[in-house]
Amino acid sequence: MTEKTTPREKVAIVTLGCEKNLVDSDMMAHLIDEKGYELVDNPDDATVVIVNTCGFIDAAKEESVNKILDMAELKESGKLKSLVVAGCLTQRYKEDLLHEIPEVDGIVGTGDFMSIINVIEDTLIGKRTSLIGNPVFNYEQVVKRKVKEGTYTTYTKIAEGCDNNCTFCSIPLMRGKFRSRSIESIVEEATYLATKGIVEISLIAQDSTNYGMDLYGKLMLPELLNRLSEVDGIEWVRLHYAYPGFFTDELIETFAKNPKVCKYIDMPLQHSEDAILKRMRRPGRQTDIRKLVAKIRAEVPDVALRTSLIVGFPGETEEDFLKLCDFVKDIKFDRLGVFTYSNEDDTPATRLPDQIDEDVKEKRANILMEIQREIANEKNGQYVGKVLDVLVERYEGRNNIYVGRTQYDAPEIDGEVFISNYQGELGKIVKVRITHSYDYDLAGEVI
């Protein structure tokens, strides 16, 4: 007589929002895999669905709620047994979610997702579970993550939370105070990722240049970058969200001298005008920013500088905006993201006078992006004829080309390189002579 076996639960994770959520989802996936559940990509095939939500701006909240409602509809078929919601939206709006969406079986906060297995098991026996504590988790206890096969780049959190308290930002409400991970745990995670085929790691934190101050009593980002560059298999180390206030000479020297540290700096400035920066409660002023950019470019001549800017912040006059446009034309950032200001619950900026109409915000964003498109086109044209290192990431059979990125482009948010004559494996860094440039992308041939 054959012994009957209980079918494994099939779990799908739907991830919304920023890279921090992607990391959290990878860690939940690892725990789910270790438990023996089967991970599936398609929620239609799942008996358990986890929606890892974003709650940063109104559009992200709306997307998260709509996705939860979409997943709730799967319950009508009877196949989906459990719907669990995680992430920033749950941290801020637990009661609303439980009350408004009865199909939600479990809720997990940003500091509690390490207990995801307990929550799943509770919901599978019919117990509606809400686990929302203080968001203080700092990732010291886990360094393993589930990364998809065929992935050669991933993000690594070096810190969580933020102490800056910018008037427009709700991150401290959802992620807590700034807290660094130890260098040892980050290096251990990078070493593990390298065994899984990862060749590029992008370091993320809400304020990455402040890394180490809370844990070691001094700024330790240069030390971390150098330690990570020693990990076998990791070829590129990329830095995101480097606030200008803590960008030291030692850090600039690390970019200049360490060949594994990408010549790419993502430095969110948010605005150029001192009056707006002061209302935003941002560190530094335009003079400081200009001096820092000049110093970085002098010491690291081939650096690609990315920034993000907010238009339509309360009190931003037409003159402020035009000066911001002049600032962008003058600095000529290599990469630029533009966001329209969004009122966030419980943030000081919602109470500021002189709120800007939505149509004005959108118009200003479009104008700024058109300015940047011309700058990007000009800068990309300077690469034609040059030989660049390119990480080959995928093959597009329809066009019979391979696609990759240079060290000057971050995954998904920046440009790509189309390679016409590559015959090797994915996940390799090869030398490509650039033959064509476009607004944001490049094309070339392997030499």
Binding site for [4Fe-4S] cluster: what residues are annotated? 18, 54, 88, 162, 166, 169
Ramachandran area for residue 315 (φ above 0: left; ψ -120 to 50: alpha; else beta): left
The residues, any chain, with a CB within 8 Å of residue 129's CB and separated by 6 or more, are: 105, 106, 107, 118, 119, 122, 123
What is the number of other CB atoms lying within 10 angstroms of the CB of residue 419?
21
Helices of type H across 305-422: 318-331, 358-381
Residue spans of alpha helices (H) in 332-436? 358-381
- Classify residue 270 by its DSSP letter: B
Long-range contacts of 281-288 (CB under 8 A, 24+ apart): 281/164, 281/165, 281/166, 281/167, 281/348, 282/164, 282/166, 283/164, 283/243, 283/244, 283/245, 284/244, 284/245, 286/327, 288/244
Q: How far apart are CA 93 and CA 96, in angstroms?
A: 5
Beta strand ranges found along 62-145 (DSSP E) = 82-87, 106-108, 129-131
| Beta bridge partner(s), residue 87 | 53
What is the CB neighbour count within 10 angstroms for residue 29? 21
Sheet strands side by side (includes 38-39):
38-39, 10-15, 48-53, 82-87, 106-108, 129-131
d(CA 65, CA 175): 19
Residues 148 and 71: their CA atoms lie apart, in Å, by 22
Contacts of 125 (CB under 8 A, 6+ apart): none
Summarize the annotated binding site as residue ranges.
Answer: 18, 54, 88, 162, 166, 169
Residue 292, CB half-sphere, CA atoms under 13 Å: how many?
Answer: 20
Instruction: Name, in order, each residue with C-beta under 8 angstroms of 263's C-beta and a sequence gap of 6 or more.
Output: 255, 300, 302, 303, 304, 407, 408
